[in-house]
Structure 1
Amino acid sequence: MTDPNITVVIEDDLDIRTLIAAVLESAGFVVHTAPNGFDGIDLVQRYDPAVTTLDVSMPGIDGFETARRIREFSSTKILMVSARVDELEQLSGRDAGADDYLTKPFRPRELRELVQKLMASS
């Protein structure tokens, strides 16, 4: 069963991963972080988070493949976070299983609002 207080942050950039985790922790979430898609998939399997934030460009497997693999076993809400602003990129993210898309750079408030919106749609 999905835990409404848990999030997983999958992001290869340490500074951005730390920022996202801090924003979500300040919003009351327990946050687990991973620097790549493989570790992120493991965390989603282990903790069954309500929301997972997912970078698109990562070493190993990219965010699209990570989302597809997560969708095989989880209903976590996936928020893609990427510096790529191309509309086709966003459509590809949704096709892979993302529920929403946030472009970098972003404001902490914007991240919190999107996560709250995803939580409300559960």
Structure 2
Amino acid sequence: MRAALLRYRVMAWIVGVLLIVLCLIGLPLHYGYLVFPDTMPKGGQAWQVGADISRYLGVAHGWLYMIFLVMAFLLSRKARWDLPFTVTTLLLGTVPVVSFWAEHRATANVRALLAAEAAEPAATGPA
């Protein structure tokens, strides 16, 4: 289960960072001309950077998010998460910044499970 947790955490961090860059940098630069037409004209340098981030990072994030979903689902089965916890973890992966809290929450859950499993044989061992 430790390997599944590591794979999940790596994908959660990659997807989370890309989501922040995309939503907090790329999209505002790309669509800033709608709000600030005088200072951020469409076709300007900032717009082009935002368009490139949106185009390339958006596609990469979409594909990597699919891998994240698979890793999270596999971890959920190994850790025997209930359906609400699993669905919440998967959905929170789509919210910038909150995705890091979801990763922390899931990691804490799995680590507690691993600690309980490690303590169990000692408690049921020979007296």
Q: What TM-score comes out, normalization by structure 2 length? A: 0.28
Q: What TM-score comes out, normalization by structure 1 length? A: 0.29
Which of the two has greater strand per residue?
1
Q: Which has the larger radius of gyration?
A: 2
Structure with the greater relative contact order (CA < 8 A, sep ≥ 6): 1 or 2?
A: 2
Which of the two has greater helix per residue?
2
